Amino acid sequence: MELKVTGINKSFRSTAGEEKVEILHDISFTVREGSFVSIIGPSGCGKTTLLRIISGIESPDNGRVLLGDREISAPVRDVGYIFQESALLPWRTVQKNIEFGLEVAGVGRKEREQRALASLELVELKGFGGYYPREISGGMKQKVALAMALVVEPRVLLMDEPFVSLDCQTRSYLQQVLLHVWEKTGKTVIFITHNVEEAVFLGDEIICLTGRPTVVGTVVPVDIPRPRERTSPELNRVRREILLFLEEERQKAGAR
Ligand SMILES: Nc1ncnc2c1ncn2[C@@H]1O[C@H](COP(=O)(O)OP(=O)(O)O)[C@@H](O)[C@H]1O
Ligand SMILES: [Mg+2]
């Protein structure tokens, strides 16, 4: 099922006064089923707002989000969301955190346990179900967040800078885990980051957003076979292309 974003506009009233500030301007793109799309853009350009609109948490002023032929206008089970900082329930074990969404959905105990265990295994956390959030590292917490999203079997995963607060090595490792999960499950992934290396290493395609009012500046395909080598000349070439785009955008923003 294809995900289609068409003609999204969004303005917010500035805190200072009555004036409305346009954040997103006529954003359109299509994400093929099963593909991995990275979205990159300067800080404050509206990436989180866009992702919230795609998830149905926030509504656009204009435009639509379609999953197949269904319009998304409120959160649905088919679309999972993973935040920058995972929000685990501190009084529940990892296993019980993962089961939470299934409890809400009324899934029985036995099935909950089995599905949570399968998700734990998928994110390489087998054996950690009995730990409490305070007992695990930041990287493990993000894995739990991924397992929590996966366990309800969404078609689409929306990820908002999920690895931003992790150290370099943990980040690389979680990127591998995510790619592994993606390859194994065939989910459609929309991954927001402001890290060019990350965007290029992970994505089939990079959607580059401009500064505000934000439009889709360019869409860069990454036709590089997987598994990819982080330091390969091909990846470097795409990385350069995006860095140049972002630099041009910075200069334009400076001139405004
Ligand atoms: N609910 C809101 N009310 C008013 N302004 C908002 C709201 N949400 C986001 N904004 C503003 O929209 C802009 C884009 O925010 P955001 O989507 O978080 O950007 P990004 O994720 O790209 O850094 C920011 O200037 C932010 O202050
Ligand atoms: Mg953001």
Whether 210 maps to a domain, the answer reads: yes
Whether 4 maps to a domain, the answer reads: no
Q: pLDDT digits over 193-232, tens only?
A: 999 999 999 999 999 999 999 999 999 999 999 999 999 9
Cβ atoms within 10 Å of 133's Cβ, excluding its own? 18
CATH code at position 230: 3.40.50.300
Domain count, the chain: 2
Nearest ligand to the C-alpha atom of residue 50: 1
Same domain, 180 and 228: yes
Same domain, 173 and 52: yes
Boundary (domain end) residue, out of 110, 141, 156: 156
Boundary (domain end) residue, out of 135, 156, 177: 156
Same domain, 229 and 168: yes
- Identify the domain containing residue 53 by its residue range: 13-23+31-58+161-256
Q: Which DSSP string do the residues of 186-241 spell out, in sequence order?
A: --EEEEE-S-HHHHHHH-SEEEEE-SSSB-EEEEEE----SSPPTT-HHHHHHHHH
Q: How far apart are CA 91 and CA 132, in angstroms?
A: 7
Same domain, 54 and 165: yes
Residue list, CB under 5 A from ion ligand 2: 47-48
Q: pLDDT digits over 183-203, tens only?
A: 999 999 999 999 999 999 999
Q: What lines the ligand 1 site, CB under 6 Å?
A: 12, 23, 43-49
> Residue 123's closest CA among 64, 63, 170, 182?
182
Nearest ligand to the C-alpha atom of residue 214: 1
Alpha carbon nearest to ligand 1 atom 26, residue? 44
Same domain, 220 and 183: yes
Q: Is the pLDDT of residue 145 over 80?
A: yes
Identify each DSSP E strand in 72-149 by its residue range.
79-82
Same domain, 170 and 255: yes
The distance between the two most distant Cα atoms of the chain, rounded to a whole number of Å, is 61
